[in-house]
Amino acid sequence: MQTTLIVPQINLNGTDRDTLLDQQCNVRSFLVGALRAMQEAAPNGRDYQLRPADLAPAIAAWRERMQMIEALAREIEEHAIAIQNA
């Protein structure tokens, strides 16, 4: 079970809204960069020539992990929007 991200309370004694938004945007940018790197490192059929039956499961496993990161990037973006609207 995944725990829901809780929107911080914006107040004078805490981190200002702009800094919180910048932090969330930095996390999302890192995740987008990770996705780009994963696309470049995705399984290539030439690397499975001697084991062709392993290619489809390798691609499926890689896509599954990319989808996890994509979901996290979307969640961070939604969290940033919630902070902006708080």
pLDDT band at 1 (very low <50, low <70, confident <90, very high): confident
Instruction: Kindly report, residue by residue over 55-83, the tens digit of the pLDDT.
Output: 999 999 999 999 999 999 999 999 999 99
Domain boundaries, the chain: 51-86
pLDDT band at 4 (very low <50, low <70, confident <90, very high): very high
User: What are φ and ψ of residue 48, in 5° steps?
Assistant: -125, 25
User: CB pairs under 8 A, 24+ apart, for 37-42?
Assistant: 38/62, 38/65, 38/66, 38/69, 39/66
Q: The tokens of 11 are what?
A: 């107040």
- Other C-beta atoms closer than 10 Å to the C-beta of 24 total 20
Instruction: Kindly report, residue by residue over 27-38, the tens digit of the pLDDT.
Output: 999 999 999 999
Q: What percent of the chain has pLDDT over 90?
A: 97
Q: Which amino acid is at 14?
A: G
Q: What percent of the chain has pLDDT over 70?
A: 100
Q: The tokens of 53 are what?
A: 């039956």
Specify the pTM. Answer: 0.89
How many whole angstroms separate alpha carbon 23 and alpha carbon 30?
Answer: 11
DSSP state of 14: S
